[in-house]
Structure 1
């Protein structure tokens, strides 16, 4: 992928520096943050600060969107862990949470959803 350059050899062994470690950790954190190897390469190779900032802002917006989805899922799971309903899909609080997430809160009960 061209993300890493081999370290120089000294007496036949590669010698890695702190810069190598920083570079590898940058790749690991970016990957853990959901960036593809192509996106990571693009960020590492971009020449201008404005262009790098624009790339990172797009990724940041995607992370924010994913965090919202994760938070909503977490709230549903937390409710279900405490819910006493035999059929949680019929629990009024659960239904409100799901309907809100699906954008159905203003529909009437007899409205067909396609």
Structure 2
């Protein structure tokens, strides 16, 4: 980028719907390195726009700033792959938990019992989680 070209921090932040302090923070974290003009002001060009877009996409994928920095580091494909594998595994775990939660909620919605505490499947799930007997679970669920 030629000196004096590019946009200021406020304009770039506006383009992406961010607050300027977010771009400053990303710079402090090593994710952005905008060139400065003669007066020391940051000037953002196409390269910085691309990096902001990468950071935003990484955030959408659930990556933190440290993991994003690892992805943006050139010359370390093994580190990038390790970061992505760890993120994939974490996302798979999160999806599995969400599916189990959805199954529990759907089970409650589909149950013929008006009071979920009377549902045998719900009682079984509670017993498993609480580590109590069926009699204890039924008694404890009925006590206020």
TM range (shorter): 0.5 to 0.7
What CA distance in whole angstroms lies between the structure 1 residues aligned with 2:43 and 2:128?
A: 53
What CA distance in whole angstroms lies between the structure 2 residues aligned with 1:69 and 1:13?
A: 43
- Please give the root-mean-square deviation of Cα atoms over the aligned residues, in Å: 3.4
Deviation at 1:48, TM superposition (A): 2.1
* Structure 2 spans left out of the alignment, 5+ residues: 1-28, 138-144
Query: Given the alignment of the two structures, is residue 16 of structure 1 paired with residue 16 of structure 2, yes or no?
Result: no
Deviation at 1:61, TM superposition (A): 0.6
What CA distance in whole angstroms lies between the structure 2 residues aligned with 1:81 and 1:13?
A: 55
* Structure 1 spans left out of the alignment, 5+ residues: none
CA offset digits 1:46-75 (Å, max 9, x no partner): 632122111211111111101100111122
Q: Which structure has more helix as a fraction of its residues?
A: 2
Larger Rg: 2
Residues 58 and 68, structure 2, Cα contact 8 Å, conserved in 1: yes
